[in-house]
Copies of this chain bind each other. A is one copy, B any other.
Amino acid sequence: MSFKEGDYVLIVYEDRKYLRKLVKGMSLNVKEHTIQFQDIVGKGDGQKIGEFFVFSPTLEDIILLGFERKTQIVYPKDAFYIAFKLNIKSTDRVLEFGTGSGVMTVVLSLLAGEVWTYEADTKFYNNALKNWERFGLCSNVKAFNENFLSASVEDNFFDACFVDVREPWEYIEKVWRVLKDGKACAFVLPTTNQVSKLLSSMQNFFADIQVFEILLRHYKTNPERLRPQDQMVGHTAYVVFGRKRI
């Protein structure tokens, strides 16, 4: 594999990372160092070019560095664990609302047979579509520019559900109806007040209810001076999980 014009490339300089499209004539400057994009064309994955390394971006690189954010995104630390907790199989049909910037959709689409995602806000909806298109993602996704509350969906239709809206308690009954029996739903919420309100609304619809948060702590990588980084992300979201009871 070698990079060609138009490819997206992850450029690493010490601890810093940049995701760039290889457009002729462009370059990246970090401190006093410069890498010309035409010098990357034809080079292999992992190659050292001056002080830089070039790599094919992973899904996480694309999400963190390539996606335009018009909303708070679901962070990889949360997204990846949630996707697995939902137990998505390659034949599954998965529901998501709201789409937001389209991060979680990507993760779900990777595991599922198909994903149906709803976003009421047209600006967010268009941005998510653009994010996926730019990186050739989400070909198995049906996106709706619509509030899921007004969507018409059969009962017992989805194998899993992911919810990222401000007032999820308003959707509980509908989520319950469209999920297949016993299947899981996960919600992300930033505040404790929302978590409390959501938990109250779930009582008679879901069992095995769990609430958790994931903290990701990065370390400096000097082997002689191993220590956590000075700053860390203090909070992204609380995750609420439950399975449809009948």
Does A211 count as interface, using CB distance less than 8 angstroms?
yes
Size class of A's contact patch?
Answer: 35 or more
Scan A206-232; emit 1 where CB is below 8 A from any B CB, else 0.
011111111111111111111111111
Q: How many angstroms between the C-alpha atoms of A227 and B191 in the bound complex?
A: 5
Known A-B contacts A85-B58, A196-B193; the reply to A211 vs B226 at CB < 8 A is yes
Of the 9-residue stretches A25-33, A115-123, A129-137, A181-189, which lies at the interface with chain B? A181-189
Question: Within the assembled complex, what's the spacing in Å between the Cα atoms of A201 and B156?
Answer: 45
Cβ contacts under 8 Å, A48 to chain B? 207, 245-246
Q: How far is the CB of A228 from chain B (nearest CB, A)?
A: 4
- Show the binding face of A for B, using Cβ within 8 Å: 1, 10, 12, 17, 44-48, 53, 55-56, 58-60, 76-77, 79-81, 83-87, 107, 110-111, 180-184, 190-193, 195-200, 207-235, 238, 243-246
Note all chain B residues with C-beta closer than 8 A to A111: 110-111
Closest to A240 in B: B221
